[in-house]
A and B are shown apart, each in its own frame.
Chain A
């Protein structure tokens, strides 16, 4: 197994196991409330009523608290029984006022208020601190004034949980994915030969396209998509750019790479420079071959179509994330007579590329490109791992469909996450 991969896997396992070794007590949920008997005087007396005004509403009772699960100690749930005056059309009760204090005797601070009819509230106010004891009470208010709570609850504590229990299914599938991919990588390295990968015509066509541009004495246009670096398609497009740069360096074909965002722009410069360096042609590297255009989608498209019409590159390689501009680019490129290779994982743009380009990489073929081009066993091994995972997903889909059809919802519920 690759050394870096071993270290990283150990780090992940330690990070997951460490919380179990130093686990804090889990949140107290549904702990019995500390109820102050009604005979005890409330801290704030009921607001005196002016003569002739409606009566003050009766208090709410039975206030309980519960720590919100699967969070970072930022929220507490409160529930109470509705006031007897909380009825449809009641003119006595307007709503409930939630008060909080760090001691049963106060001072009390207003947290929030909810209208009549509601018997629950989640306190996630900015003033709520984790691992601090709080006491809550719920007063009722209406036209006749404010009635203090019949009881209060506490000590309530918001605590952090170490694991989001609704995400077990995601964790399990993620760990399986990691394990499978790393297994196939190690397997491929151990065998020392490249595992079989079916031919992907679109990737093979990249070198053919560059060769054609060389024969015609025209440049190659490489478009790495319209998204920023956080999109994996952009990362993959930039990785493939290095291979393309090596080939253009070898054939001494000019390369043009217009880029949308600043960070991919700097990485693209590094990739092109690295490609020329690897081919032993650093002197042929043109720093202006990679240009920053604009993050604005259609400004970028206008610039690229302008390059296509003016400079007439003989080969267009468009790999990455594309949106509405895909057909604009492909059709304009076709009109110039260039050979076009496109690839994207944006499924809604694939039909436009398929129709207008000579070769198209569909979905995950784009992510297979770097492994396919380099032929490195560990990269190809990761492809096999992803394919194995796909088989597992297919099996899950089939089993899940059968279970759902027969009325068994356990698997679906276990897979649903929050």
Chain B
């Protein structure tokens, strides 16, 4: 059977199988492909690096387990960089299904870095209301989150003593999987309070946020697993994202090949119809 005829009759489950193998095999046998950080990733890293030691940072982790492969690595790497600079990190979550996941990630990194809960970091947990929560935080963060993730009074923790609203922070880090997320922070927060803002988002959301990068409303951005891997590379780490990039590389090449194969089928069909 000639190639175009074979492709025309190809059961799409073969494509699924090939995709699965191309993603699985590099995870088992890494290729260790080199990474080159892009300007948005450098902007993200440099914005955090420029913080004075001991700065207070608001980290909004708005994603659920579905986006874990892309956003968990960048969350961990960001927390490590912030803790290295002895920053005080206040974490909030606007995704209901992700609050527990974010809590696990934050506590895990904090434990590794020997950070003290309530002194070096705190997790205020989830609040329903989407943009309304962002607006309320602009008036009072302790008022919007009177209790932390574990139900304790936030005012009892030293880290929250001087926290009023967004103006109490030197930087806002938005790790977001969609809505509500980075765009809402740009519209509701950055525009009003002019606090420096950096973002880590899924790859599909990243193109929508390039206008904000260009205007300077976002100082830097990590786009998907590629951005997370480049960030790890800048930090001289080799984490989950870097391992995942081998698989993503082969998957991208395969998808490009699928586009070509699909068009071979079409051209062959046209050629047959013309003759």
Contacts and interface: CB of A to CB of B under 8 A. Distances in A.
A126 B205 contact: no
Contacts of B164: 124-125
Contacts of A417: 191
Contact of B162 (A112, A122, A296, A348): A112
Contacts of A418: 191-192, 194
Given A298-B66, A323-B178, A348 B140 contact: no
A227 B194 CA distance: 28
A300 to B, nearest CB: 12
Interface residues of A, number: 22
Contact of A297 (B66, B139, B202): B66
B208 A324 contact: no
B97 interface: yes
Interface in A85-139: 112, 122, 124-126
Which of under 10, 10 to 19, 20 to 34, or 35 or more describes the interface residues of B?
20 to 34
A298 B178 CA distance: 13
Nearest to A352: B204
Nearest to B193: A418
A74 B178 CA distance: 33
Contacts of B207: 348
Contacts of A297: 64, 66
A298 B205 CA distance: 17
A126 B180 CA distance: 28
Contacts of A228: 130
A31 B96 CA distance: 48
A22 B205 CA distance: 47
A348 B191 contact: no
B66 A324 contact: yes
Given A124-B164, A297-B66, A348 B179 contact: no
Interface string A217-236: 00000000001101100000
Given A124-B164, A227-B179, A297-B64, A324 B130 contact: no
Interface in A309-335: 321, 323-324
With a 10 A CB-CB cut-off, give which of A231, A297, A347 has the most chain B CB atoms: A297
Contacts of A295: 96
B165 interface: yes
Contact of A347 (B64, B139, B191, B208): B208
Contacts of B191: 417-418
A122 B167 CA distance: 9
Given A112-B162, A227-B179, A323-B179, A348 B66 contact: no
Contacts of A227: 179
A46 B231 CA distance: 52
Nearest to A227: B179
Contacts of A347: 208
Interface string B217-246: 000000000000000000000000000000
B165 A124 contact: yes
A344 to B, nearest CB: 12
A253 to B, nearest CB: 30
A112 B64 CA distance: 38
Interface string A173-207: 00000000000000000000000000000000000
Contact of B97 (A230, A296, A321, A349): A296
A230 B167 CA distance: 27
B178 A324 contact: yes
Nearest to A230: B130
Interface in B92-115: 96-97
A348 B167 contact: no
Contacts of B192: 418
Nearest to A335: B12
A62 B140 CA distance: 30
Nearest to A416: B191
Contacts of A126: 140
A324 B64 contact: no
Nearest to B178: A323
Nearest to B203: A348
Nearest to A298: B66
Interface in A271-329: 295-298, 321, 323-324
9 contacts: A227-B179, A296-B97, A297-B64, A297-B66, A323-B178, A324-B66, A324-B178, A348-B204, A348-B207
Given A125-B164, A418-B192, 19 more contacts: A74-B139, A122-B167, A124-B165, A126-B140, A227-B179, A228-B130, A230-B131, A231-B179, A296-B64, A296-B97, A297-B66, A298-B66, A324-B66, A324-B67, A324-B178, A324-B204, A348-B204, A348-B205, A418-B191
Which 9 A-B pairs have CB atoms at the shortest separation, nearest pair first? A323-B178, A348-B208, A348-B204, A298-B66, A418-B192, A296-B97, A124-B164, A347-B208, A348-B205
